Amino acid sequence: MEIKIVSLYLFLSLSFFSQCSLSTSKIILENSTVFSSSESLSSQNADRRIQFFNLKPQHNVNVIPKGSPDAPRLVESQFDFSASIDAGNAPGGPSVTEFGHYAGYYPLPHSKAAKMFYFFFESRSNNSDPVVLWLSGGPGVSSSLALFYENGPFKISEDLSLSWNDFGWDKISNILYVDQPVGTGFSYTSDISDLRHDEAGVSDDLYEFLQAFFKEHLQFAKNSFYITGESYAGHYIPALASLIHNGNKKKEGIPINLKGFAIGNGLVNPEIQYGAYGDYAREMRLISESDHDSLKQNYVDCQGLIKNCNLNGGEACDSAYKVCNNISDQIMNKIKGTNVYDLRKKCVGRMCYNFSKVDVFLNQENIRKALGVGDITFVSFSRKVYDAMMEDFMINPEVKIPALVEDGINLLVYAGEYDILCNWLGNSRWVEQMNWSGQKDFGSAKTVPFLVDGKEAGLMKNHGSLTFLKVHDAGHMVPMDQPKASLQMLQKWMQGKLSTASGPTVG
């Protein structure tokens, strides 16, 4: 297998970049025939999210024409970012030259022509720290958004300069950011059949990626391994955890030392979570009692269609998507101007966040050349990937979780309290209602404060391998809103210290 890697050694000084010998065509295929009949609705929802985050993807998907020159073979090389790294934590802070920073592609053997792109940052503390995989949601959002705006080593500023993130998760882990599904970010293919339509296809690709990654980085293969992510990654994460766990049992490929998986403000069990929309909106005083009654009535149809979707798939899932999204749309129409990802904030027009700098930064010619991606364009949010996954939205991946927690694989479900789209109430309900041997004991477990610097930063409960944490003063993106709390959450959880056993009971 051809391995494509580039080592990212970041310096404060500016320099010139070496030229790539080959480039790919910038033409992106537009082919809607493979998508479902609800593509128009899902495309509207994708466009809405692009506007929410003020993203500027130049293309709908990274599918290059067949027969185009492939991306240049990447070789390990030194390079500078064109913008300076702010030495705000200096003197005495870490030097960027001390750490292994990598980026590159791995081909996916069972795909037609897919190449999956990743960033990998070795721990600022110790290479023996756990390996953490981060997956962003969407579906179709590049994990680079989390890298630069949430929990990566660097933060990106308005002037495109980068500064150290004091609470980057690389302080306590060796962290991977993967652009997935294929067609998102810098990940690409020349065969449109490589676009995935369900969490099974996405998780299969990710499992192949991890096998290739650990084959190349055997020194990390025995480290503890954790899967993390947020939002729609709540679909991918249980599927990937199940694949890894079963692969280990069957002694397939390189053993991956899976210890746990964490889902932040995730969409996991749509039947339960869509039922919580009206209750959450009423609790937050966003809607009237009559609005709540109307939503409850609408949910009856939504619930039936979700059940049918999970039994029969296909067109049943199209119908569920259409009807159930009316529930969230009704609430959004009642609170126009309010940020549905963080109810404390207002939107300017349709823009609720400004993440546009990541498109500008990563699409600079010298940055693309430095990363070795040639003329592959960075796609921050892929409409086509979103459309392709439409029939997967109402599928319930929670069914894969009980076997994992029964086998001692730790699960952390956390949620910022001000997100409405994947709100904490819906997440807490599916966790409480999940059928496993510890369900009763988890339900009766005490709720205790999650403390950061002696102050309450959230409320949590746990039993056995399962922990739920409601994070205070945070919306959909907890690591961005509460960086210190999220770092301590991750650290304590991986150390087995995020426990309610010794905390004071709340309520």
241 touches 407 (CB < 8 A): no
Catalytic residue among 38, 43, 136, 231: 231
Query: Strands 174-178 and 115-121: what pairing?
Result: antiparallel
In this structure, the number of other CB atoms found within 10 A of the CB of residue 503 comes to: 16
Q: Is 476 a residue of the active site?
A: yes
Q: Is 231 a residue of the active site?
A: yes
CA atoms within 13 A on the CB side of 426: 27
Distance CA 115, CA 102 (A): 16
- Outline where 407-482 has alpha helix (H): 424-433, 439-444, 478-481
Distance CA 94, CA 488 (A): 20
Distance CA 483, CA 138 (A): 21
Catalytic residue among 179, 194, 375, 419: 419
In 3D, which of 101, 107, 26 has the Cα closest to residue 73?
107
Helices 424-433 and 270-283: crossing angle in degrees, nearest 10, is 140
Distance CA 179, CA 187 (A): 6
CB burial of residue 346 (10 Å; 0-12, 13-18, 19+): exposed
User: What single-letter amino acid sits at 71?
Assistant: A
SS3 59: coil
Which run of H or of E encompasses 200? helix 199-216
Residues in the chain, overall count = 507
In 3D, which of 175, 28, 182 has the Cα closest to residue 103?
175
Catalytic residue among 144, 179, 476, 486: 476
In 3D, which of 133, 128, 127, 125 has the Cα closest to residue 151?
133
Q: Is 419 a residue of the active site?
A: yes
In 3D, which of 191, 229, 155, 188 has the Cα closest to residue 62?
188
SS3 196: coil
DSSP string computed for 243-277: HHHHHHHTT-SS---EEEEEEES----HHHHHHHH
In 3D, which of 27, 206, 22, 192 has the Cα closest to residue 116?
206
Q: Which DSSP category does 96 fall into?
A: G
User: What single-letter amino acid sits at 93?
Assistant: G
CB burial of residue 37 (10 Å; 0-12, 13-18, 19+): exposed
Could you give the residue numbers annotated as active site?
A: 231, 419, 476
